[in-house]
Amino acid sequence: MRMSILKYWKIILLLLFLLGSIVAISPWEKPGVIVKNVGKNSDFYKILEPNDIIYEINGEPATVERINNMTGMTFLKTSKNDINIFVNNSNITVGKRPFSNLRFGLDLEGGILAVVEPVSNVSDQTLYDVKSILEQRMSSLRESSFQIVKYEDKKFIQIQIAGGTEKDIDNLINTTGVFEGKIPMPVKFVNGSGKLKFGDENEWVDVKYHNKSIIINNRSFSINESFSLRDTNFTVWNITKNDAVIAATVYINDGIRKDIVKVHTDPQHSYIQPGENWYKWSFDVEVSPESARRFYNVVKNLKRQYSDRGSYLESKIYLFLDGKEVSNLSIGSTLQNKPTTIATVSGSAETKEDAIEEKRWLQLILRSGALP
CA torsion sign for 214, 215, 221, 227 is: negative
pLDDT at residue 324 is higher than 70 = yes
CA torsion sign for 46, 52, 58, 62 is: positive
What would the mean pLDDT of 271-288 be, rounded to a whole number? Answer: 89
CA 93 to chain CA centroid, nearest Å = 20
Residue 352 near residue 279, CB atoms below 8 Å = yes
pLDDT at residue 106 is higher than 50 = no
Residue 156 near residue 116, CB atoms below 8 Å = yes
pLDDT at residue 22 is higher than 50 = no
Burial 24-50 (b: 16+ CB within 10 A, else e): eeeeeeeebbbbbbbbeebbbbebbbb
Query: Cα separation of 99 and 109, whole Å?
Result: 12
Sheet containing strand 179-188, strands side by side: 226-229, 232-239, 243-253, 179-188, 317-321, 324-329
Burial 330-359 (b: 16+ CB within 10 A, else e): bbbbebeeebeeebebbbbbeeeeebeebb
Look at residues 299, 277, 251, 298 and name the one whose alpha carbon lies nearest to residue 350. 277
Percent of the chain past pLDDT 90, that is, above it, reads 30
pLDDT in tens, 197-235: 999 999 999 999 998 999 999 999 999 999 999 999 999
What pLDDT is attached to residue 216? Answer: 95
| Burial of 166 (C-beta count, 10 Å sphere; 0-12/13-18/19+) | exposed
Query: What single string gives the DSSP state of each residue in 294-340?
Result: HHHHHHTTSPEEEETTEEEESSPEEEEETTEEEEEE--BGGGGSS--
What would the mean pLDDT of 74-86 be, rounded to a whole number? Answer: 87
What pLDDT is attached to residue 137? Answer: 67
What pLDDT is attached to residue 359? Answer: 86
pLDDT in tens, 346-358: 888 888 898 888 8
Phi, psi for 354 (deg, rounded to 5): -65, -40
pLDDT in tens, 148-163: 887 777 788 777 776 6
What pLDDT is attached to residue 108? Answer: 41
Residue 64 near residue 95, CB atoms below 8 Å = yes
What pLDDT is attached to residue 205? Answer: 95
Per-residue pLDDT band at 15 (split at 50, 70, 90): low
pLDDT in tens, 127-185: 777 777 777 766 655 567 778 887 777 788 777 776 667 777 777 676 667 889 999 99
